[in-house]
Amino acid sequence: MAQFQEVSKLSSQHPKPPGLVLQYGTAGFRSNAKHLDHAMFRTGLLATLRSKKTKATIGVMVTASHNPEEDNGVKLIDPMGNMVTAEWEGYATQLVNAEQDDLLIVLKDIIEKETVNMSQEANVFVGKDTRSSSVSLSQAVLDGVLALSGHSKDYGLVTTPQLHYMVCCQNTQGKYGEPTVEGYYRKLCQAFIQLIKNASNCTDDQKHLSVDGANGIGALKLHEMESHVKSELQISVFNDGSKGKLNYECGADFVKMQQKPPTGMEMSPGERCCSYDGDADRIVYYYTDSEGQFHLLDGDKIATLISTFLKELLTQVGLDLKIAVVQTAYANGSSTRYLEDTMKVIVRCTKTGVKHLHHAAQEFDIGVYFEANGHGTVLFSEVAEEKIQLLTQDPNTNDERKRAAQLLQNTINVINQTVGDAISDMLLIEAILAIKGMTVQQWDAIYTDLPNRQLKVKVADRRVIDTTDAERRAVSPAGLQEAIDSLVKKYKLARSFVRPSGTEDVVRVYAEAETQESADALAHEVSLAVYRLAGGVGDEPKPL
């Protein structure tokens, strides 16, 4: 077939380094950018097949998000704007790892297994982050689409959540919104402005927010959005990419892991600040107090704020909708206790990766999902959206109920339900704080985090670690879980787990305990156990 000749021809311009193996991990393929050209071309091929199969537009985002500048990666986006299915992740791994001579065999195998109609039209939306390597790598994706005669639309520089949004808008024929960056700003900002009308007596200080853009795409997009919200929210953007390096000593991942402010940010005591990550799908808030102490409000605190707000509105409208919060093993123990015992909401725990959280959240009328690292959003079921919409129009509803229903309606519109989105989450959080007349300190005081520490350990092959129970227990290598169990017993209110990262070549270690000294000591001791039992490389982990 002529189509396959084109694949052969173009793939020779994007050859696979022999023997190189990549895995579709937590959020797609990630590696040093110099190893990814063939992976991008082949992801373009696969996205085209997926589009033919689903008869819908598929998205391909070129980004390595929180990873260092020299890395890159790619995420595949399914028709409703969510992550591609596990089955197709498997195909992606097979296709990307096929040696050059076997590419067509693997490609035809997928076509056959999925009975893809090759005469069906295909449409692929492509976006990229600000990494210098993203220019040629996104071109490789476009070449892959072209090789199978697919149509592509190159959105250029966009945040990951913007591309997810665009794919969903396209496939819902505009029902979710207009598939343009401008349409995205309009929808979210109009909803924000409507929400903020319910806030009384907002001072200028409350209307100001300092944002660390991680020297990435989020900073660019905030500048584009500014004029839409200027009257209600004044944003000062730091680490806007004009001088600093992407994610270097800044950004949401740095702030969460190091539990300290990013460099390059001017902060006055008590001032509300937040950090985005490299592709603007994560956000964390923070402030320093008058004693100079740093306070982090991470994904768990965000989930608590949002679910409290939603629960109060549901009570006001009198709708019996089931609301749940989905977390991962990284969720601070205090947050889970607060949600279950004080707020009385259902809490679920899944494996790391928004694809898992998203899935679990879909089982409820309203599913609030957040990873502790600040990656998350809220999902409303169709039934929930309809009931809320009906109430806003019901002539027999009293003013108080109608106002609450309208607030819920605008909340739905400010949220990007396709995936975690730093811009959308920020607008929602800012609106909630303003409506509730709440300072960042009052929000922080909802519950007190248990002191915690996250570390990374380098091992020869991180796949030797296998986990179960939503990653809370290690089943291999032998003896590791027993070692963790006996270390945890030494400390009060302690918990610890380890898991192989799906985005970096490291094993992640998490520990929490009654005091910071205990959490630090436990994290270090567990790191040593990983180093000794799971094939650590380089120097032994040192105490903090």
Q: How far is the CB of 72 from ligand G16 (least distance, A)?
A: 12
Is 502 a residue that touches ligand G16 (CB under 6 A)? yes
Minimum separation from the CB atom of position 419 to ligand G16 (A): 9
Nearer to ligand G16, 106 or 126 (CB): 126
Which residue in 212, 281, 365, 520 binds ligand G16 (CB under 6 A)?
281
The answer to whether residue 282 forms part of the interface with ligand G16 (CB under 6 A) is yes
Q: Are 60 and 43 in contact (CB under 8 A)?
A: yes
Sole window of 198-206, 233-241, 277-285, 489-497 interacting with ligand G16 (rule: CB under 6 A):
277-285
Q: Tell me the window of 101-109, 198-206, 275-283, 435-443 that interacts with ligand G16 (CB under 6 A).
A: 275-283
Q: Provide, rounded to whole angstroms, the least separation between the CB of residue 168 and ligand G16.
A: 17
Contact (CB, 8 A) for 51 and 377: no
Instruction: Indicate the residue among 82 and 503 with the shorter CB distance to ligand G16.
Output: 503
Per CB under 6 A, the list member of 78, 277, 300, 430 interacting with ligand G16 is 277
With contacts defined by CB under 6 A, name the span among 276-284, 442-450, 485-493, 522-530 that binds ligand G16: 276-284
Measured CA to CA, the distance from residue 22 to residue 170 in angstroms comes to 31
For ligand G16, give the closer residue by CB, 49 or 368. Answer: 368
Which of 59, 177, 262, 353 is in the footprint of ligand G16 by CB under 6 A? 353
CB-wise, 301 or 508, nearer to ligand G16? 508
Q: How many helices (H) and strands (E) does the chain have?
A: 18, 19
Pairing of strands 273-276, 208-212: parallel
68 is in an annotated binding site: no
Residue type, 374: G
State which of residues 159, 377, 410, 503 lies at the interface with ligand G16 (CB under 6 A). Answer: 503
Q: Which stretch binds ligand G16 (CB under 6 A): 43-51, 429-437, 479-487, 500-508?
A: 500-508
Report the DSSP pairing between strands 57-62 and 71-77: antiparallel
Are the beta carbons of 279 and 65 closer than 8 angstroms?
yes
- Of 227-235, 348-356, 403-411, 529-537, the window that binds ligand G16 (rule: CB under 6 A) is 348-356
| Sign, Cα dihedral of 192, 382, 300, 454 | negative
In single-letter form, the type of residue at position 246 comes to: L
Q: Is 212 in the site for ligand G16 (CB under 6 A)?
A: no
159 interacts with ligand G16 by CB under 6 A: no
* Closer Cβ to ligand G16, 418 or 503, answer by number: 503
CA–CA separation, 248 and 262 (whole Å)? 9
**Number of residues this chain uses to bind ligand G16 (CB under 6 A):** 18
Report, in Å, the least distance between residue 351 CB and ligand G16.
9
Q: If binding is defined by CB under 6 A, does position 65 make contact with ligand G16?
A: yes
Distance separating alpha carbons of residues 183 and 177, to the nearest angstrom: 7
Question: Active site residue: 65, 138, 210, 518, which one?
Answer: 65
User: How far is the CA of 390 from the CAs of 319, 335, 409, 490, in angstroms?
Assistant: 11, 34, 10, 55
CB proximity list for 100: less than 8 A, separation 6 or greater: 11, 12, 15, 16, 18
Answer yes or no: 65 catalytic.
yes
Which amino acid is located at 36 in the chain? L
Strand, coil or helix: what is 156?
A: strand
- 277 labelled binding-site residue: yes
Q: Which is nearer to ligand G16, 373 or 527 (CB)?
A: 373
Q: How far is the CB of 357 from ligand G16 (least distance, A)?
A: 8
Grouping H, G, I as helix, E, B as strand and the rest as coil, residue 495 is strand
Q: Which of 504, 512, 520, 525 binds ligand G16 (CB under 6 A)?
A: 504
The annotation status of 102 as a binding-site residue, yes or no, is no
Instruction: Sort residue 87 into left (φ over 0), alpha (ψ -120 to 50) or beta.
Output: alpha
Is 65 within any annotated ligand binding site? yes
Residues 6+ apart with CB under 8 A from 430: 192, 196, 209, 233
Least separation in angstroms between residue 69's CB and ligand G16 is: 14
Which one of the spans 8-16, 136-144, 312-320, 367-375 is the region binding ligand G16 (CB under 6 A)? 367-375
Query: Is residue 352 close enough to count as binding ligand G16 by CB under 6 A?
Result: yes
Which of 53, 66, 207, 358 contacts ligand G16 by CB under 6 A?
A: 66
CA dihedral 370→372→374→377, nearest 10 degrees, is: 0
Alpha helix ranges (H) inside 289-353:
299-317, 333-337
**134 near ligand G16, rule: CB under 6 A:** no
Distance from first CA to last CA of the chain, Å, rounded? 61
Helix axes 480-488, 516-533, angle to 10 degrees: 160
Site string for ligand G16, 12-31 (x = CB under 6 A): --------------xx----
Judge whether 98 and 106 are in contact, CB under 8 Å. Answer: yes
Residue 30 annotated as part of some ligand binding site: no
CA dist 156 → 217, 424, 441, 456 (Å): 11, 20, 39, 33
Evaluate whether 191 touches 82 at the Cβ level (below 8 Å).
no
Cα dihedral across residues 419, 362, 498, 305: positive or negative: positive
> In this structure, what token pair is assigned to residue 287?
């402030």
What is the binding site for ligand G16 (CB under 6 A)?
26-27, 65-66, 277, 281-282, 352-354, 371, 373, 375, 501-504, 508
Binding-site positions for substrate: 371-373, 499-503, 508
Residues annotated as catalytic are: 65
Binding-site positions for Mg(2+): 65, 277, 279, 281
Binding-site positions: 65, 277, 279, 281, 371-373, 499-503, 508
